[in-house]
Amino acid sequence: MDDLLDGFTAYLRQERRASEHTARAYRSDVAQMAAFARDRGRPEPRRWSTDLVRAHLARVVATGGRAHARTLARKQSALRAFFRWLCRQDPKLADPTVLLRSPKLPKALPRALDAEEALAMVRAPADPAAGRDHAAMLLLYGLGLRVSEAATLRHDDVDLAERLARVHGKGNKERLVPIPQGIVSSLKAYAALRPAAATYFLVGRRLDRPIATRTLARVVDRAALQALGRHASPHQLRHSFATHLLSGGANLREIQTLLGHASLSTTQRYTKVSIARLLEVFDKAHPRH
């Protein structure tokens, strides 16, 4: 089974171009299924049945307690990918995941900050030593980057003269994101102070390694607590970027390109956010409320 897991992980990374996080999660999910099957006398994947897979997923819910629809959907996705990979090598192999029904996922709306709140969080600090953290906030809100994209943004990918950033997104897809004129001077000030030998724009503990995404999450949360008195996440800044662009007149196709969304339907969620915000303002301000 270890050899199969190694081969499956290599397939995810090299052919599916999955992120390291996804590859690790899928491998872990299949390994859990393998352990469950082994305990029931069926260690070989070709002997796994749909009922056995369902029993494993039901056990995950029963013992995990906190497992929810998204967790189950990911585990099913991992097992489907595993058997698609196996069936390529042996077309006669029966795929037990074909009859699985995917759980219905809740469609939660992104929680965007008000423009005033976002600007309060990214306000320039008085301490120059906080330049990196401020630059991180500007990348997340000013460019709408995912936290992983901000962490892995290389120094050579940031052209402040041309006001362009070359961003490597999901599936290693590359896109050019314009840098707003209003944040160029702050990014230049940070770039002038960062170690010249650093590979990545945001410098972490090691000059040749990207900064940890957990570190960036703490940076954002600390800024939110200081500016707003409550918690916030890097993804909220990205949601806010998209929502504020839509409110400012940008069309969905433009926002889709900037965010690096593969599907326009993903970007369309932001129209619901803007409508929800409009209704909230209406309910607070209308005299007939």
pLDDT of residue 109: 61
> What pLDDT digit, counting tens, does each position of 221-245 carry?
999 999 999 999 999 999 898 888 8
Domain ranges across the chain: 2-89, 115-285
Tokens coding 123: 């306000």
Q: Which fold has domain 115-285?
A: hpI Integrase; Chain A (1.10.443)
pLDDT of residue 277: 62
> What pLDDT digit, counting tens, does each position of 122-171 carry?
988 877 678 899 999 999 999 999 999 999 999 999 999 999 999 998 87
Is the pLDDT at 278 greater than 70? The verdict is no
Q: Which of the residue ranges 45-54, 179-188, 249-258, 265-274 would you say has the lowest mean pLDDT?
A: 265-274
Q: Which of the residue ranges 170-184, 215-229, 246-260, 274-288 would you say has the lowest mean pLDDT?
A: 274-288
Instruction: Judge whether 2-89 and 115-285 match in fold.
Output: no
Q: Which residue has the higher pLDDT, 250 or 41?
A: 41
Instruction: Choose among 271, 265, 219: nearest CA to 110.
Output: 271
Is the pLDDT at 286 greater than 60? The verdict is no
Residue type, 1: M
Active site amino acids: 146, 170, 235, 238, 261, 270
Tokens coding 240: 């806010």
In the CATH scheme, what is the code of domain 2-89?
A: 1.10.150
Using N-to-C axis directions, what is the helix angle for 50-64 and 20-39, rounded to 10°? 110
d(CA 203, CA 201): 6
> What pLDDT digit, counting tens, does each position of 70-105 carry?
778 888 899 999 999 999 888 888 889 888 887 766
- The answer to pTM > 0.75 is no
